[in-house]
A and B are shown apart, each in its own frame.
Chain A
């Protein structure tokens, strides 16, 4: 039987900020979306004040002033770098790891009797090496591992395993809207039928689940019962970001081969984005060598940038992904994995929807944006900087990626 672990950074963006500014510990803080519009991360203290995810910041101005909530613009350069560090530490802890989003990673614990101890060790190592607190949920299916992770956030120790014996007890404690892939709409429909907990959802008739929530709903019910469905992560929708990263059958050394794989992955997530009628504003591309081959030179670079324009248009995304890959590419390594992640997803307005129809003006505008990447330093550093100045008033330093923005150690 399979045993999945889901490692998830606690309030990830807030935790990244706290690593470099310990003063923020214990204070209510929030991080805003790219245009400083909405709340995309909250510390526990901010959650306790009733600040909801995704709420426009102007709506909570009185609350911010009253409780002196610290407000930050998103610093994706920093979060991308910290995410890569976290993922690499986790990858070294298990035989196989699958990056699922900027702050989540599935770990394969199959066949390990001491899985819980190993999960605890992985958690402690990530905390020591990177300063980032994480929780790990363990279970026989990915949906249950997700649920275990949600429950682990409330448990001291931060590691929780759902087994066949304790499954019902834990699922009874999890509200149905916290189940992976259950959005507000589904939760409403479920509540109307008296389904309010994950346990009740797992006990519903699969046929009914399929009729109400489609194939995703049916599979979620099966997964909650402990039956692992292949590819569940592909269909369970996520709100924050989409990632596609797969290991290669054999190590790749040629740029063109890796670029081709990356292009496929980009197409997959771009299509998914369009299906959800969303656009992305931030992209991360990362590369990995095999962390279990210490005899081989290791290289795990990543790059995270704000796109010149929010889009779901495949050619634009592919071109950007390819350029980012070229920027981090280094010859002479045996690469095992490449991945692309889209962050800061939001609902597309009509003009942003590219479904393959003719939209010449918009396409050429995008093409122009892509073409302007020619001097990629300007784009990644300078042009980017100018944009930041306009709409990221409260961004912290890029502590880990810029020589002139390093944290300061006092020798006074």
Chain B
């Protein structure tokens, strides 16, 4: 009954998808501990012989593990604007921000300016701090002394959907 077979597989796939979606929607616990799990393709065993891949059936890759080094200190933010396109950060992207990492000159950071979050490259020259865009349309901005600059976190990764 090929029809019935397809139906069952469809129901299974739907249940699987629902579970995955639920785990994404409810996104529990610190970032990166949520399973964003890519199952390795299952191999069918035709008859008799065990598949050599059977040992690896339960191995999965967790994207969170790759993107998040300090789950308790990691937050996600949505990017608005095009001033960082040169660094591969585009409008609408999600950036991974790690508060555990010490900000240093040259790193891309999220800084607080007048109460708003800005994503910029932090550059320190002769004790003066600059927030530098990665787009020639935008001028760099001097933000005073190192001590007075409020760096919220360091950007470690960017999640960009290819369109």
Contact = CB atoms under 8 A, between A and B. Distances in A.
A302 B115 CA distance: 29
A88 interface: yes
B30 interface: yes
A400 B31 contact: yes
B79 interface: yes
Contacts of B22: 327, 376-377
Interface in B75-123: 75-84, 89, 91, 94-95, 97, 99-100, 110, 112, 115-120
A411 B28 contact: no
Given A85-B73, A377-B22, A400-B75, A411 B80 contact: yes
Q: Which of B70, B75, B81 has the most CB of A within 10 A?
A: B75
Contact of B78 (A81, A131, A298, A406): A406
Contacts of B117: 22, 407-410
A131 B98 CA distance: 11
Contact of A403 (B24, B110, B115, B150): B24
* Interface range, A side: 35 or more
Query: What does DSSP make chain B's interface, helix, strand, loop or mixed?
Result: mixed
B27 interface: yes
Contacts, number: 123
A40 B6 CA distance: 54
- Place the interface of chain B in its size category: 35 or more
Contact of B28 (A86, A327, A409, A410): A327
Nearest to B114: A23
B29 interface: yes
Interface in A387-412: 399-403, 406-412
Given A409-B110, A412-B83, A129 B70 contact: yes
19 contacts: A81-B29, A88-B72, A301-B28, A303-B26, A380-B26, A381-B26, A400-B27, A400-B75, A401-B26, A403-B24, A403-B27, A406-B94, A407-B117, A408-B80, A409-B77, A409-B95, A410-B118, A411-B79, A411-B82
Given A301-B34, A410-B80, 15 more contacts: A84-B29, A85-B30, A85-B72, A88-B71, A128-B99, A129-B73, A129-B100, A300-B30, A301-B28, A302-B28, A407-B117, A410-B116, A410-B118, A411-B84, A411-B133
Interface of B: 21-22, 24-31, 33-35, 70-73, 75-84, 89, 91, 94-95, 97, 99-100, 110, 112, 115-120, 133, 138, 150, 152
Interface of A: 21-23, 81, 84-86, 88-89, 128-131, 298-303, 327-328, 330, 376-377, 380-381, 399-403, 406-412
